[in-house]
């Protein structure tokens, strides 16, 4: 089972506070639902993909950009018939503050305050400009020249300023993705699961709440998100458990109870299955660091 905290991103951010990537992926069986440190700007080039962020489902179009906090559960669900091409940059808030100052930083970081991400659907000219800006950042990242760190930091602030100005220029640029009835139903399921994950939610209870046939509901969720309802619920609960383990001294048995696990043994077993370590080991590692 793949880990769902995105360790390459977390490692890169600890090292340099910024992580810039351009990726071309053929189809693969597993795209893990995950979280990571920092913030993300995701720019979509090509493919046939739904991107799940929090409660929202985004059917991506070339030139789409999504901005979101890394601590929100997210996952791409690409189709297999075409390559999946995207660029993205992850960064920490303090990386921006050094150059932008507190007032400007607050404005720029407001772009990431939307709990289900912020979609900006660029027109052809804007998409070309974003494509070029990302390309410039990739080239600068690879240089071993004087001032490379400063240049990359400057390019990052410029990117955020361009996005912020465009977001304020015309609200028409901030669009809600069109959804099919199936996607709309799955969005309602995600919203329900994210609101009720602390309860012992059953498929029967979810089916009743959604007024949907259980088979149709399970099939639709898997088709749109790429994972099962039970898989999503377990990952959501473990993600919340990790926050409590890092940020509080709440006993592990109580965390298990608070998050709807049947008992502490089951919680520990699932935590280790999904994250590779026990809850006790995770807490010790992260409270020491």
In a domain, 279, yes or no: yes
- SS3 per residue for 52-93: EECCEEEECCCCEEEEEECCCCEEEEECCCCCEEEEEEEECH
Q: Looking at the chain, how many residues does it have?
A: 289
- 212 and 165 inside one domain: no
Given 173, 199, 215, the domain boundary residue is 173
Average pLDDT, stretch 92-117? 89
Q: What is the DSSP letter of 47?
A: S
The CATH number of residue 45's host domain is 2.60.120.280
pTM: 0.83
Q: Does 225 share its domain with 141?
A: no
What would the pLDDT profile of 136-186 be if each residue is shown by its tens digit? 999 998 887 899 999 999 999 999 999 999 888 755 445 556 678 999 999
Single residue among 156, 173, 190 that ends a domain in this structure: 173
112 and 13 fall within a common domain: yes
Question: Do 101 and 133 lie in a common domain?
Answer: yes
Position with higher pLDDT, 287 vs 254: 254
What does the pLDDT read at residue 5?
Answer: 56
Does the residue 1 lie in any domain? no
Q: Are residues 166 and 187 in the same domain?
A: no
Tell me if 44 sits within 8 A of 162, measured CB to CB.
Answer: no
Residue at 21 is within a domain: yes
pLDDT interval class at 1 (50, 70, 90): very low
Residues 157 and 190 in one domain: no
Q: Is residue 158 part of a domain?
A: yes
* Tens digits of residue pLDDT in 48-77: 999 999 999 999 999 999 999 999 999 999
Is residue 2 situated within a structural domain?
Answer: no
The answer to whether 47 touches 78, Cβ cutoff 8 Å, is yes
- Which residues have C-beta within 8 Å of that of residue 264, sequence separation ≥ 6? 252, 253, 256
d(CA 53, CA 229): 15
Say if 262 falls within a structural domain: yes
Do 21 and 123 belong to one domain? yes
Domain that holds residue 28: 7-173
**Which is nearest to 158 in space by CA: 197, 208, 108, 218?**
108
User: Are both 121 and 240 inside the same structural domain?
Assistant: no
Statement to judge: residues 244 and 260 lie in one domain: yes
Task: Confirm whether 231 is domain-assigned.
Answer: yes
Q: Is residue 215 part of a domain?
A: yes
Q: Are residues 73 and 195 in the same domain?
A: no
Same domain, 73 and 169: yes
Tokens 């297999």 appear where?
A: 80
111 with 163, same domain: the answer is yes
Cite the DSSP H helix spans in 197-250. 203-210, 214-225, 229-247
pLDDT exceeds 50 at position 2: no
Number of structural domains found in the chain = 2
Answer yes or no: are the C-beta atoms of 38 and 67 closer than 8 Å.
Answer: no
Q: Which of 173, 200, 227 is the last residue of a domain?
A: 173
Domain CATH for 232: 1.10.10.60
């Amino acid at each position: 089972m793949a880990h769902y905290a995105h360790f390459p991103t977390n490692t890169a951010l600890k090292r340099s506070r910024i992580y810039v990537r351009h990726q071309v992926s053929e189809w693969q069986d597993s795209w893990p639902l995950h979280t990571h440190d920092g913030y993300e700007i995701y720019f979509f080039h090509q493919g046939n993909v739904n991107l799940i962020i929090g409660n929202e489902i985004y059917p991506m179009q070339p030139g789409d950009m999504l901005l979101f906090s890394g601590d929100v559960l997210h996952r791409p669900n690409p189709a297999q018939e075409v390559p999946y091409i995207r660029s993205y940059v992850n960064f920490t808030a303090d990386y921006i503050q050094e150059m932008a100052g507190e007032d400007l930083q607050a404005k720029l970081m407001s772009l990431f305050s939307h709990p289900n991400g912020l979609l900006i659907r660029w027109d052809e000219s804007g998409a070309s400009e974003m494509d070029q800006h990302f390309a410039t950042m990739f080239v600068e990242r690879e240089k071993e020249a004087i001032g490379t760190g400063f240049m990359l930091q400057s390019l990052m602030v410029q990117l955020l300023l361009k996005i912020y100005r465009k977001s304020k220029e015309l609200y028409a640029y901030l669009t809600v993705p069109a959804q099919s009835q199936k996607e709309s139903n799955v969005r309602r399921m995600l919203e329900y699961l994210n609101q009720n994950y602390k309860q012992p939610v059953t498929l029967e209870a979810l089916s009743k709440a959604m007024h949907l046939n259980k088979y149709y509901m399970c099939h639709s969720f898997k088709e749109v998100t790429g994972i099962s309802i039970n898989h999503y619920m377990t990952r959501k609960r473990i993600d919340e458990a990790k926050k409590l383990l890092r940020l509080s001294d709440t006993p592990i048995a109580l965390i298990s109870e608070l998050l709807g696990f049947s008992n502490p043994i089951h919680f520990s077993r699932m935590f280790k299955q999904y994250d590779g370590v026990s809850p006790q080991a995770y807490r010790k590692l992260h409270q020491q660091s």
